[in-house]
Structure 1
Amino acid sequence: MKLGDRLFLECCKNITKEYHQIEFSNMIIDNACIQMLSHPQQFDILVLPNIYGKILSHSIQDKNIVNSTGMLLADCDMLDYLGCYRYATMIQEPVTKVLKTKKLHTPFVDSTSFYHRC
């Protein structure tokens, strides 16, 4: 596992050398779980090997702190790339509308907010 982790970290570090605007840091998965629960707003994007993603997803399950906006907007980019502009707009417009209302945010977007599923 150490070899796989080292390779993953080396790949991430190499990518950040090409894109200087990307801030890269790493942490041990135990600490990441604690940080995710106590200060989720400190994370913009998490890039994890599958096994750590699984661990982290279990630690935040049912905590109402997950923000899927990035994934939804990435889906819109993919749909645009594929020429499915109408479908991309059908997703992007409601997401943008919700973000502008400032009534329904997870702590990732607004640390004073808390989302409860209906």
Structure 2
Amino acid sequence: PTLYFDHIDMIIFRENLEEFYSGIEHYIDSSRSAAETIGITTRRGSERIIKFAFEYARKHKRKKITLVHKANILKFTSGLFLDVGEEIAKNYPDIQFDNRIVDNMAMQMVMNPYQFDCVVTSNLFGDILSDLASGLVGGLGMAPGANIGDGVAIFEAVHGSAPDIAGMNIANPSALLLAAVMMLDYIGENKKGKIIENALAAIIGKGDCVTKDINKTKFVGTSEFADAVCKELDKE
């Protein structure tokens, strides 16, 4: 598709339990004219997500991890996240490591996304940057996601259920298909996942049998897009 970047291969690892999404906020006066929220960052939580990112990168032969932060302003919370990342990176000499301040990261992702491989960051920044990343390749309809715990994992389309377009045959099924690919990889069926991924990539690469969010001038409906992917799967 000419509107978006081609061949983007970026993974964003987002801590999703702490920081400003911990739910600790309240009004500080009776007139509700001012409010505050508390962002919690722990060493344990930071270690957990950063180690996971490095282990994933090593297992999948990824070459580089970029840690995104705002330690120049949030010196204690984001600073802790950065410190932990620098400590852990020393144990993975086979993987390149660098860090970016979040506002610069947003600019760099738009100007030259190809310089990034794996990105690890905190909750709020990850929420924002993952949506930005989806915009580089066609929008949320292209973005799968996973919530991975110690023993349980949930895979999803980042866009959610999208009830506002239910039954209209316009939704892009790519995010759900790619979430299935992630799930298959997680349970050790990566070869089967690759078959689905290759079939989807082939259809998107042709560009003439995709939903409107990918190609605004020549597009089809959800069912036609899905049928095309299924036919491509039959070739495998």
TM-score (norm 1): 0.63
Q: Which one of 12, 24, 27 corresponds to residue 100 of structure 2? A: 27
1:91 aligned partner: 193
Whether 1:17 and 2:90 are equivalent positions in the alignment is yes
CA RMSD of aligned residues (A): 3.4
- Tell whether the 8 Å contact from 2:134 to 2:143 is kept in structure 1 after alignment: no
Alpha-carbon distance in structure 2 between the residues aligned to 1:35 and 1:23: 18
Aligned length: 102
Alpha-carbon distance in structure 2 between the residues aligned to 1:56 and 1:31: 11
Q: Which one of 45, 59, 62 corresponds to residue 118 of structure 2? A: 45
**Local SS of the residue matching 1:47:** strand
Unaligned residue ranges in structure 1 (runs of 5+)? 105-114
Q: 1:42 to 1:65 in 2, by over 3 A?
A: farther
Whether 1:116 and 2:220 are equivalent positions in the alignment is no
Alpha-carbon distance in structure 2 between the residues aligned to 1:75 and 1:20: 28
TM-score (norm 2): 0.35
1:111 aligned partner: none
Q: 1:61 to 1:89 in 2, by over 3 A?
A: closer
- Between stretches 8-17 and 60-69, larger displacement belongs to 60-69
Alpha-carbon distance in structure 2 between the residues aligned to 1:39 and 1:65: 16
Determine which structure has more spread, i.e. the larger CA radius of gyration: 2
Higher relative contact order (CA 8 A, sep 6+): 1
**Local SS of the residue matching 1:35:** helix
Unaligned residue ranges in structure 2 (runs of 5+)? 1-73, 147-177, 206-212, 220-236
2:15 aligned partner: none
- Tell whether the 8 Å contact from 1:40 to 1:65 is kept in structure 2 after alignment: no
CA displacement at 1:13 relative to structure 2: 1.4
- Tell whether the 8 Å contact from 2:109 to 2:133 is kept in structure 1 after alignment: yes
Deviations 1:51-99 (A, max 9, x none): 1112323444534267758x7565333212xxxx4xx544222214556
Question: Aligned ranges for residues 54-65 of structure 1 at < 5 Å?
Answer: 54-60=127-133, 62-64=135-137
- Tell whether the 8 Å contact from 1:36 to 1:60 is kept in structure 2 after alignment: yes
Q: Percent identity over the alignment?
A: 27
CA displacement at 1:29 relative to structure 2: 0.9
